[in-house]
A and B are shown apart, each in its own frame.
Chain A
Amino acid sequence: MALSVAIGKPGNGQNQAVRTVSLEGRLDNESAAQLDQQLLPLWLEPFDLLVFNLARLAYISSMGLRSLFAAQKTMRERQGRTLFVDTQPAVQKVFDIVAAVDVGSVFASAAELDAYLDSMQRRASQSSSGDPDRA
């Protein structure tokens, strides 16, 4: 089981500040460099939020964690955030053991993440149009 990486860009009407990376298979000593390579073009694009969809990621080792650490580090350097959604039990167990991700950056499902992103977008549009309570 190799690693399959799918990078999703937002369509019209979707939040342009978000990129979604869906991983399928194993993120390990064999595939970590592949993920690093496939993420490289992404760093040239302007966006604030990187979402790893891990619904189909069955396995991760310390080599795979290194790639996720690197992605999180890059996003922080860009003043952005990294979120993880739909993490499977075997991968979540490794995350928990090594405290690999910040609490609050893991979402149980795509629906939960969508609700979070919607609330973020509402907040952003409210602040850009001014707070009506202060008018």
Chain B
Amino acid sequence: MGFTLRLTGHPDEIPGALHALEAWLGSEGVSDEDRGEWRLLAEEVLMNIVQHGSPPQAAESIRIDGRFHGDGVELRVEDRGRPFDPCAAPPPDLSAPLEVRRAGGLGVHLLRSLTDEMAYAYRDGRNVLTLRKRSPAAPGPQRPAQPEAGAEHPL
């Protein structure tokens, strides 16, 4: 079963959205560790949108879709903010002394480091960011057959 959430882009919505995402992943049997990393990925994406995108709108401006993809989870986040391709963002200078380091750029670096695949497109006035991450606990056709396979969720 997939997961869909629509937000207006107000920062106050983020905790609830992250909680809902974790609850969905938990209901699908994703491990605690992977749930925590997906929470982190989603927080970084959403914070980037609300900090650098358009102001909150009355109508939905952010849409989050989650689904199982192959042997892992795929999360797609669409927003109507200014075009921003995190895949093209320069990596942060991790060798710089801590006192001159900024948090900016670290979020994108975390996205790159914690996902197996990250893809960006700008379509119909919307940023579309797709994150994929393999998850040993996630259901999917590439997993080895388990005796209790009947309990697995169909794609």
Using a CB–CB cutoff of 8 Å, the interface residues on chain A facing chain B are 28-30, 58-59, 61-63, 65-66, 69, 72-73, 76-77, 89-90, 94, 97-102
Contacts and interface: CB of A to CB of B under 8 A. Distances in A.
B126 interface: no
Interface in B42-77: 43-44, 47
Contact of A65 (B11, B14, B103): B103
Contact of A62 (B33, B39, B98, B107): B107
A51 B8 CA distance: 39
Interface in B107-150: 107, 109-110, 113-114
Given A62-B110, A65-B103, 16 more contacts: A58-B36, A59-B36, A59-B39, A61-B107, A62-B47, A65-B106, A66-B102, A69-B103, A89-B33, A90-B33, A90-B36, A97-B109, A98-B94, A98-B110, A99-B95, A101-B98
B112 to A, nearest CB: 9
B92 interface: yes
Nearest to B93: A99
A29 B101 CA distance: 18
Interface in B4-57: 11, 14-15, 33, 36-37, 39-40, 43-44, 47
A62 B112 CA distance: 13
B11 A29 contact: yes
Interface size classification for chain B: 20 to 34
Contacts, number: 61
Name B's interface SS: helix
A102 B99 CA distance: 11
Nearest to B98: A72
Contacts of A89: 33
Contact of A97 (B11, B15, B95, B110): B110
Interface of B: 11, 14-15, 33, 36-37, 39-40, 43-44, 47, 92, 94-95, 98-99, 101-103, 106-107, 109-110, 113-114
Smallest CB-CB A-B distances: 3 pairs: A66-B103, A62-B107, A99-B94
A59 B40 contact: yes
Contacts of A65: 103, 106
B52 to A, nearest CB: 13
26 contacts: A29-B11, A30-B14, A59-B36, A59-B39, A61-B40, A61-B44, A61-B110, A62-B106, A62-B110, A63-B43, A63-B47, A63-B103, A65-B103, A66-B102, A69-B98, A69-B103, A73-B98, A89-B33, A90-B37, A97-B109, A98-B92, A98-B109, A98-B110, A99-B94, A101-B98, A102-B98
